[in-house]
Structure 1
Amino acid sequence: MTTMLPTPSDDGLPRRFADFATLGDALDYAARGERGFNFHDARGALIHPYPFAMLRHDARAAAFRLIAHGIGPGDRIALIAETGADFAALFFGAVYAGAWPVPLPLPTSFGGAAAYVDQLRTQLGSCDPALLLYPAELDQMASDAATQAGVMGITFEAFAALESPEALLPPARPDDIAYLQYSSGSTRFPHGVAVTHAGLLSNLAAHAHGMAVTSGDRCISWLPWYHDMGLVGCMLSPVANQVSTDYLKTEDFARRPLAWLDLISRNPGTTLSYSPTFGYDICARRMSSQTKAAERFDLSRWRVAGNGADMIRPDVMQAFVDAFADAGFDAKAFLPSYGLAEATLAVSIMPPGEGIVVELVEETQLSGASGDAGRPQRYRAIVNCGVPARDMTIEIREEDGTPLPDKAIGKVWCKGPSVMAGYFRDPEATAACLVDGWLDTGDMGYMSGGYLYIVGRAKDMIIVNGRNHWPQDIEWAVEQLPGFKAGDIAAFSITTPGGEETPAVLVQCRTSDQSERARLRDQIREKVRAITGMNCVVELVPPRTLPRTSSGKLSRAKARNLYLSGEIQPYDLAA
């Protein structure tokens, strides 16, 4: 029996850092070597090595099928982004055919079949695709959404069975659109981010330079391919920078998080792997009930432990170090970064080896208030998110657009070749955030000695009596209480019947005892008052009630809408 071998970390092909005119050119070059993708099962066993040469062969065949189906340059091809060879080949096939692939989410992030069908239908209506392609196991839901949106839907398997007569592939130009990316929060009003080949490759080159990719480097990922960090950072970047990559499906990571660290431990080369804060958090929590980490893991070769996609929590990072230091994990491997789909991905990247660096910022600086002499000073640890990515410029600005000096908190703006061309068919939304080539990220932060520090999202800010309060501060206050954890709490602003703005806090509660619920509510209210000086509305809700975005982040805006519309029903403590 032939032993299945993964693609090598190194081969004889000289590495190029995404210095190509188009994404198709990048795959053409990577296919000349032996590196590639490697797909693993839920326990981390290799099930499908997929060299870039095979990906290119399959992608060209997919392009011929699309052209035979009447697909031409500029047509959108919607693809359900299942981690696997089928999606990868179809994505690059659409690129070779001059069409725009549009990755769409799997149903794992949604409340049920109806919610998922509605989400798909909404995004299909936005991108107006010629085709929706999806894995056979999603046939019922995907075909329902396609029918409702008036789009032809075909399974991956049925599409692969179609004829693929060779055809002339249309030439691509650097300024052509390469793909559309929906940002993770795009639910009711989706915005398709249009990314050009030139913009994409500029950002992918910035990844390789920013992480100092070198021989022996190998990427490991469980991130979903419908989210910018998973798609751009862990699928397209490995092709353009010729890095062999090992994949776990996102749902397999969710069931067995430590399989991620098992996969890193088994890899012979230096390792690159990214995760939002919650990925590190869940691994550290799982480890608390396990044997010593050193008996199971070897994390000594993990050179870049990237962190991005949500607010970086220094306490969570420290808990991960505490759990895995004896398995060889080096805290200096942490590489914080900041980015968003509208900038393709990376805006800032921490130089490798500097680890997690924090600055303590007094809360009156965060709120813009003058402070209350009667209250003790309180500080929040703000994580350094690195220096501007290659070819990216960052400015901190006042609301009126005036640039701010070092250490002053304001809106984060960025400019560079990888900033999006615009939102697809939405000039108003584009004009609202793109001004003279500068992108208003919607995030608040400050610069300090050339490094970017992110404070929070401007639209999440809670403004009470003229003072600004960050929902994270309220949520973290509740998390200090026993029995609660990150993701259990959503804080946002509501208007009382008397017309006053006040913070509301929804807290997922697991106890069924009424007196205990009442005690918890009072305890939470007192904790928030002690930390912020504010009275707030506290509502206890059932577990798994709070909505999340497609990338797994808490959606405060959606939680607020569902609460105000009555779709989130708190426990009745008077019963």
Structure 2
Amino acid sequence: MLDRTDRIDTTLTFDGYTPTADRLERRIADFPTLGDALDYAAKGSRGMNFHDARGTLVRAYPYAELREDALRHAHRFQALGLEKGDRIALVAETGPEFAACFFGAIYAALWPVPLPLPTSFGGRDAYVDQLEVMLTSSDPKLFLYPSELTDFANAAAERRAVTARDWESLQAIEPTPGTLPTAGEHEIAYLQYSSGSTRFPHGVAVTHRALLDNLRAHGISTEIQPTDRCISWLPWYHDMGLVGCMLSPLALQVSVDYLKTEDFARRPLAWLDLISRNPGTSLSYSPTFGYDICSRRMSSQTRAADRFDLSRWRLAGNGADMIRPDVMQAFVDSFADAGFKASAFCPSYGLAEATLAVSIMPPGEGIRLELVEESELSGVGTPAQERPRRYRAIVNCGKPVEGMEIEIRSADGNQLADRSIGKVWVRGSSVMVGYFRDPESTEACMKDGWLDTGDMGYMSGGYIFIVGRAKDMIIINGKNHWPQDIEWAVEQLPGFKSGDIAAFAITGPSGEETPAVLVHCRVSDPEERGKLRDDIRERVRAITGISPVVELIPPRTLPRTSSGKLSRTKARNLYLSGEIQPYDIAA
């Protein structure tokens, strides 16, 4: 193990990218702490590479250089009077500044707390409010942010009386020499806010041991190769981006190429350009909507093969939301001529409360589906009907990773047999110790070491299939309806895409539960809007048997979580409070 007072020779770097191959012997995250993982990765020449919106390399950042910067920051934190166990909140902008400050906190035995960047909806006040509640929850001694967010950050910091600095002003602090405190493997490494945690945030306390166990399981499940290189646009404030595409590559000594999330949103095909330029094999992950936006961008172009070479994309990870088989097939159709193989798809299931990975599909198996009858999904009827009237394709999310157990339980807590749908519970060494300073929420979801994920699913032959979120289920006349089914049905109408529809239940005038559907509308003619509303109403009635409330709303109105997922709960709250204003359509 390296003495952290030693300097590491950084002459292994070269002009351009950090290399894919390296003479350093690979270790599969078998370290006691995250700081030890960086110490080892810094012995080699691999590292991070940051790109602009067009995919042009802006800065190569070897792990050796990251280590030196992080150690300097650790001593700066000491100079500011921070002590072991104090929290440092950091706006998680994809760049070397955040990475150095995050690991500086790790080296100083502090707890870094990644906070989100502003989203495209909600505006200044909503973002400041979001920062305020997370600062209240994490109670940091220091808040760091990029200078372009000074106005937002200072407004939130002033409300909570938190000392705030931008990246540049931190550099002006003279490091204090001396011995840094150390953290044990079972001590807290950082706090991770789960996506969707806005008004009542849940800070997941992740220990070094839980993290390294999950990163090792990730490396084993993905069968990491010497030629592998990671390419990512995922945000670092979300567990899939932070753990899966920042901490995992470092702990596995893999070079990474990064696009900022906002640059991907503007130019999504730059992601595929980076994958195409990688001469080795690529590991790259995305929620469903990332694949969707790429295939849609290609629809107006001719041949993908004229621009891309995706033949070396070894693992196309898919997770963080319900996996849409139709979207995945559209991606294959769009990019097969560029060499993309459907077998590269690697569905997974995970959540921040389990550090990240719960299950991963074995490499090469691709997307496998099972057709499940609506009566099984809704919990009524039997699967013995000769021909199901309706069914949904459920995606196989793989096998439990090393050290993780999965059980499917009924409402009364009993374990269910294969292919019986129930609540998903998980147990393993990478499951959280609890939510930070929130024992009630911790107790509500944990029992005897088992975590209630809040998801519904079933096991089949050792594989996990996720059906949906329990809290999103719409119950009408005693029958369960998944909002995804309603949303997917509406999306089949012309002019809609994934993310245009939010379905949820509201209470009608007589106290009955009624399905409500909010739909992004892109037509301006009043008569066409009326016809569209009627078509949607009929489509939903065919599924639920009840006439729904259908509201047409302006595009880009539906709220998203920090990871880009549709937030049905927030959409419902904004609609009921009048903050989402539907178009006025004559009856």
Shorter-chain TM range is over 0.9
Structure 1 partner of 2:261: 250
Specify the SS of the correspondent of 2:503.
strand
Deviations 1:434-454 (A, max 9, x none): 111100000000000000000
Measured in 2, the distance between the counterparts of 1:200 and 1:479 equals 38
Residue 375 to residue 499, structure 1, CA distance change in 2 (3 Å): farther
Structure 1 partner of 2:4: none
TM-score by length of 1: 0.98
Query: Does residue 1:335 correspond to 2:342, yes or no?
Result: no
Query: Percent sequence identity over matched residues?
Result: 73
Aligned mate of 2:401, from 389, 392, 400: 389
The answer on whether the counterparts of 2:79 and 2:173 sit within 8 Å (CA) in structure 1 is no
Measured in 2, the distance between the counterparts of 1:9 and 1:260 equals 18
Q: CA deviation at 1:371?
A: 6.4
Query: Does residue 1:16 correspond to 2:53, yes or no?
Result: no
Deviations 1:313-364 (A, max 9, x none): 0000000000000000000000000000000000000000000000000000
Structure 2 partner of 1:56: 67
Query: Does residue 1:574 correspond to 2:586, yes or no?
Result: yes
Describe how 1:141-540 pairs up with structure 2 within 5 A. 141-370=152-381, 377-540=389-552
Aligned partner letter, 1:550:
S
Structure 2 partner of 1:136: 147
Q: CA deviation at 1:531?
A: 3.2
Specify the SS of the correspondent of 2:531.
helix
Q: CA deviation at 1:227?
A: 0.3
Measured in 2, the distance between the counterparts of 1:171 and 1:146 equals 28
Aligned partner letter, 1:226:
Y
Q: CA deviation at 1:542?
A: 1.0
RMSD: 1.4
The answer on whether the counterparts of 1:4 and 1:46 sit within 8 Å (CA) in structure 2 is no
Aligned partner letter, 2:335:
F
Specify the SS of the correspondent of 1:20.
coil
Deviations 1:282-324 (A, max 9, x none): 0000001113000000000000000000000000000000000
Aligned partner letter, 1:411:
K
Deviations 1:222-254 (A, max 9, x none): 000000000000000011110100000000000
Aligned mate of 1:43, from 35, 54, 77: 54
Measured in 2, the distance between the counterparts of 1:52 and 1:320 equals 34
Q: CA deviation at 1:464?
A: 0.5
The answer on whether the counterparts of 1:109 and 1:549 sit within 8 Å (CA) in structure 2 is no
Query: Does residue 1:556 correspond to 2:568, yes or no?
Result: yes
Measured in 2, the distance between the counterparts of 1:73 and 1:396 equals 39
Measured in 2, the distance between the counterparts of 1:263 and 1:310 equals 24
Aligned partner letter, 2:69:
D
Aligned partner letter, 2:537:
R
Residue 439 to residue 284, structure 1, CA distance change in 2 (3 Å): same
Deviations 1:81-132 (A, max 9, x none): 0000000000000011010000000013542111111110111011000010
Specify the SS of the correspondent of 1:310.
coil
Aligned mate of 2:97, from 86, 95, 101: 86
Specify the SS of the correspondent of 2:442.
helix
Measured in 2, the distance between the counterparts of 1:234 and 1:252 equals 17
Specify the SS of the correspondent of 1:82.
coil
The answer on whether the counterparts of 2:41 and 2:63 sit within 8 Å (CA) in structure 1 is yes
The answer on whether the counterparts of 1:108 and 1:251 sit within 8 Å (CA) in structure 2 is no
Mean Cα displacement is larger for which, 477-486 or 510-519?
510-519
Q: CA deviation at 1:422?
A: 0.4
The answer on whether the counterparts of 2:530 and 2:586 sit within 8 Å (CA) in structure 1 is no
Residue 322 to residue 104, structure 1, CA distance change in 2 (3 Å): same
TM-score by length of 2: 0.96
Residues matched between the structures, number: 574
Measured in 2, the distance between the counterparts of 1:539 and 1:397 equals 36
Structure 1 partner of 2:42: 31
| Deviating 4+ runs (over 3 angstroms) | 371-376
The answer on whether the counterparts of 1:63 and 1:93 sit within 8 Å (CA) in structure 2 is yes
Q: CA deviation at 1:534?
A: 3.0
Residue 195 to residue 3, structure 1, CA distance change in 2 (3 Å): closer
Structure 2: tracts of 5 or more residues without a match: 1-12
Measured in 2, the distance between the counterparts of 1:374 and 1:391 equals 40
Q: CA deviation at 1:554?
A: 0.4
Specify the SS of the correspondent of 2:455.
strand
Specify the SS of the correspondent of 1:78.
strand
Residue 500 to residue 371, structure 1, CA distance change in 2 (3 Å): farther
Mean Cα displacement is larger for which, 416-425 or 160-169?
160-169
Q: CA deviation at 1:569?
A: 1.2
Specify the SS of the correspondent of 2:78.
helix
The answer on whether the counterparts of 2:395 and 2:465 sit within 8 Å (CA) in structure 1 is yes
Specify the SS of the correspondent of 1:107.
coil
Describe how 1:60-139 pairs up with structure 2 within 5 A. 60-139=71-150
Q: CA deviation at 1:532?
A: 3.5
Q: CA deviation at 1:165?
A: 2.5
Q: CA deviation at 1:400?
A: 1.4
Aligned partner letter, 1:402:
N
Specify the SS of the correspondent of 1:539.
strand
Measured in 1, the distance between the counterparts of 2:364 and 2:382 equals 37
Measured in 1, the distance between the counterparts of 2:277 and 2:418 equals 44
Structure 1: tracts of 5 or more residues without a match: none
Measured in 2, the distance between the counterparts of 1:210 and 1:109 equals 35
